[in-house]
Structure formats: C-alpha cells, structure tokens
Amino acid sequence: NAGSALHLAKQAGQGNIRFFSHDLTEQARRRRTLEEGLHRALEREEFFLCYQPQLDLHGGATVGMEALIRWRGPDGQLVAPMEFIPLAEQTGQILAIGQWVLRQACRQGRAWHDAGFSTLQMAVNLSPCQFLQDNLPQLLDQVLLETGFPAHCLELEITEGVLMHDPVRAARMLAVLREMGVGFSVDDFGTGYSSLAYLKRFQLDRLKIDRSFVRDCCHDRQDGAIVDAIISLARNLGLDVIAEGVETASQLDFLRAQGCGLVQGYLFSPPLPASEVTGWLTSSIAARGPV
C-alpha cells in the first residue's frame, strides 16, 4: 500500500534504492502533469469562472454570487479546484491565478450591474498567500478602478487559518482593505482554529457555515447544535451568516427555523457559467414578483 511504500522510500533516504507503489508513481505523474499544465493555463486561457447564487431567505432574492474557478486542462478535462488550487499555492502560481480571478469576477460583476442588477454582490475566494501579499491593497485598488466595480459590492472570502497564521498582520491587512470598502467572509467557518476570541479582534462581515455541518444538521444532533451555535454567535456579534452546501428542503427548514439569513447550495443552483447568470437573475426577480 501507499503508506508502506512511502515508508520504504523514506528509509531509502537519499540513496538510490527506490520503491514506489503503482499508486505513488501515478500520483507523482499526475502532479507533474498538472504542474506543467498550470504553467501555461493562464496564457492559454483555460480558466473560467462559474458563479453560485447566494439567496436571502427573507425575500428569496439572489443577493450575491460566489465566483468559483474552473480549469479545463489541455486534454479537455475539468480539473477540480480542490486538486489544482493547493498545487498552485505550493508553486506560487496562485498569485497570478488569483489576480486573474479577482479581475475577471469584478469585470463580470460590473457587467451585471450595468445590465440592471446593480446591487449584486460578488464573493471572491482569496488564497492564504494572496491575502498575505503586501501589495494586495494596490492590486485591489487597481482592479476596482479598472473594472469600475464598487468596492462595497465585493466580498472577499478567507479562512480562519489565514487570520490565525499571523493575526497582527492579518488584522492590519483587514483594516486597510475594509477602509477601501471591501467586505470579508470567513469561509468554511468552524473547521479551522475556531478561536472565538479572534472574532472580536478582526473586523469581519460574515461567517460561512461550512457545508460539513449543514449536511447532517437535521439528522445529527451535534451538527445541528453547531449550526445553531454559529448562527447565534454571528447574530450576537452583529455579523451576517450564510450556510453553504444547502441541498435539501429539510436543511433549509432547519436553517430558517434557526434564523439563518442567507443560503447557498445545490438546492437553489449549482455554480453557473456566466452565460446563464442573467437568465437566473431575471427569473429570480420574476419569481418574487415586482420588487
């Protein structure tokens, strides 16, 4: 198995005895292929964004979209972000990719504003190294200026880990970006450090309840209690709360009963290609009747 093969490979140390299981060579090969592919992906324009609607539970309106990156590799196959984002973080390519995402999401957001959906929020995921880049404020400033997307409609999603890695630096970065008008969500909330004291220290706007808690919230008492607690916590701290990964009507009922204001998930819509978003926004307004 892969574990013992790794063990043997480690024992062999720097020597020339190598023993890899089939699995490991496969993995290593896959990794190398992806890494090489990533190098050219930007210039070959192989990335695109999909957008997942975020709904307000009170009126049912779509209030925002989360931009999610997609990569169609040279062989035409889609590669999941969970596979290539960590790799891009290791190789540093995430900075160029993240910059492209930011610019593309803001450009698209501006186009939808111009099409009449002028309050639509755009949520963009920031990788840890992006958030800790000293020139992030300049980059953001430039992107907002260039695209004309209003800062107060942009919401950056970061994880707890990013905040905790270097709290002083993170707080400083948050302050600078918030001064520009940008909002912040804590993505996958509850799965990281969960040091609640820090919620007070950082100026945040929104907690995103991780979908691992949402999944079983109505069947598993503990998950239900965690979801409930995050919602109360957010409310008491004056933060918005959004549940991600909502797939069923019973999850929705549970969330509604606990007072969760915002939702996102397959129950409403998968991430959509840009070409389908105007249609979605139009019919979501029609479904609610005149505003």
**240 binds Mg ion, rule: CB under 5 A:** no
To Mg ion, the closest distance from the beta carbon of 238 in angstroms equals 13
291 binds, among ligand C2E, Mg ion, none (CB under 5 to 8 A by kind): none
**78 binds ligand C2E, rule: CB under 6 A:** no
Give the H/E segment covering residue 79.
strand 78-79
Site for ligand C2E (CB under 6 A): how many residues?
A: 22
Amino acid making up residue 145: L
DSSP, collapsed to helix, strand or coil, labels residue 265 as coil
To ligand C2E, the closest distance from the beta carbon of 227 in angstroms equals 15
**160 binds Mg ion, rule: CB under 5 A:** no
To ligand C2E, the closest distance from the beta carbon of 5 in angstroms equals 29
Distance CA 140, CA 113 (A): 19
**187 binds Mg ion, rule: CB under 5 A:** yes
Of 156 and 174, CB closest to ligand C2E: 156
In the shown chain, the binding pattern of residues 100 to 129 toward ligand C2E, with x for contact by CB under 6 A and - for none, equals -x-----------------------x-x--
Task: Single out the segment in contact with ligand C2E by CB under 6 A; choices: 56-64, 79-87, 133-141, 283-291.
Answer: 79-87
Pull the structure tokens for residue 37: 């592919």
Burial of 227 (0-12, 13-18, 19+ CB in 10 A): buried
The CA–CA distances, whole Å, from 47 to 33, 81, 138, 224, 287 equal 16, 11, 24, 37, 32
**155 binds ligand C2E, rule: CB under 6 A:** no
List all residues 6 or more positions away from 73 whose beta carbon is below 8 Å from its beta carbon. 34, 37, 41, 46, 79
In 21-158, which ranges are continuous DSSP H helix?
A: 22-41, 81-91, 94-114, 128-131, 136-147
Of 144 and 246, CB closest to ligand C2E: 246
**265 binds ligand C2E, rule: CB under 6 A:** yes
Binding site for Mg ion (CB under 5 A): 125, 157, 183, 187-188
